[in-house]
Amino acid sequence: MKVTEHFDQASEPLISYEIIPPRRGGSADQILRVVEELMPYDPPFIDVTSHSAEVEYKQQDNGTWKRRVKRKRPGTIGLCAAIEARFGIDTVPHLLCKGFTREETEDALIELNYLGVENVLAIRGDDKGYEKSISGNRSRNEHAADLVRQIQDMNQGEYLEDLMNAEPTDFCVGVGGYPESHFEAPNLAWDIMRLKEKVEAGADYIVTQMFFDNEYFFNFVDKCREVGIEVPIVPGIKILKRKRHLRLLPKHFHTEIPEELAAQVDAADPDDVENIGVDWAIRQTRDLMEAGVPCIHFYIMSSADTVKKVVDPLHEMA
């Protein structure tokens, strides 16, 4: 079932989750156990992240540095297939512009279509320091809107090569949004216009980057509606669990930690930080649900332990 169909059929806000594939050479068993732990909460769909190649520099014994290009977390498609087959849960694999050619993207979409996966999230992806060389007969999507157009072309039966009797695909396409604006954007208004381009290219819904202050989300939604963006907008929530998150989350995700939350975490015993983060996420999520959002999307990555502490009281409330 498509993500938007889940929204249409729901009588109350849904709760979805985002997980990360195991590292290269790792086993999928741990991630599948995470999904199994989520089953009692009836997740409508689960996102599975994708990762392009990235550059690493390792110092050698002689003092020189060796450059290595490595894709640390392959397996997005296989993990989606395993989740859908084992648990019957719809999955949303992430597709990237960065690090992949349009030809590789088309192959991935064909494979997903064969497997019966109906949803994808189209994102540009982060700069990992590696620029994939493109041969003369290949091409790349520069922006997420370009990727959305490629997916929608395939939904119309238009492939990169002129194929006779090509069957159209039927993907539901999500894209990312940034309530506090993307760190490369000069301002929020500019960023929202880029988001509108993705919607006009064919995006069916938006899921936001994590935020800890709901006012950013509500303001973001209002401004999206003002410029004519009418697709569902799903808030993304991250549970703050460790003191170092006060530094790492703003650094890597360019999100602001509210003064109240930061002060509580900073003053707390390290063993109490997770409980503070859980309480904050419960308050935040209840407020969003009362506002009538279609879904709450939790970034849980590789463990369900903490999110269950948030979702349990929400189910009791329902």
pLDDT tens, position by position, 174-213: 999 999 988 889 999 999 999 999 999 999 999 999 999 9
Contacts of 242 (CB under 8 A, 6+ apart): 270, 273, 274
In whole angstroms, give the CA distance from residue 284 to residue 237. Answer: 9
DSSP tag of 91: E
CB-based contact 247:262 (threshold 8 Å): no
Range of the domain at 55: 3-317
CB-based contact 35:89 (threshold 8 Å): yes
CB-based contact 6:44 (threshold 8 Å): yes
Count of CA atoms in the C-beta half-sphere (13 A) of 293: 27
CB-based contact 199:227 (threshold 8 Å): no
DSSP tag of 61: T
Backbone φ and ψ for 114, nearest 5 degrees, come out as -60, -40
Q: Say how many domains are in the chain.
A: 1
Chain centre to alpha carbon of residue 37: 20
Count of CA atoms in the C-beta half-sphere (13 A) of 290: 8
The whole-number pLDDT of residue 278 equals 97
Burial of 136-151, coded b for 16+ CB within 10 Å and e otherwise, reads eeeebbeebbbbbbbb
What CA dihedral angle connects 287, 292, 294 and 298, to 10 degrees?
A: 0
Q: Can you give the CATH number for the domain in which 264 is found?
A: 3.20.20.220
pLDDT in tens, 30-57: 899 999 999 999 999 999 998 664 555 5
The whole-number pLDDT of residue 138 equals 76
In whole angstroms, give the CA distance from residue 69 to residue 281. Answer: 37
pLDDT in tens, 265-284: 999 999 999 999 999 999 99
Asked if the model's pLDDT at residue 131 lies above 80, the reply is no
Question: What pTM was computed for the model?
Answer: 0.90
Q: Give the orientation angle of helix 259-267 with respect to helix 273-290, to 10 degrees.
A: 160
pLDDT in tens, 230-268: 999 999 999 999 999 999 999 988 999 999 999 999 999
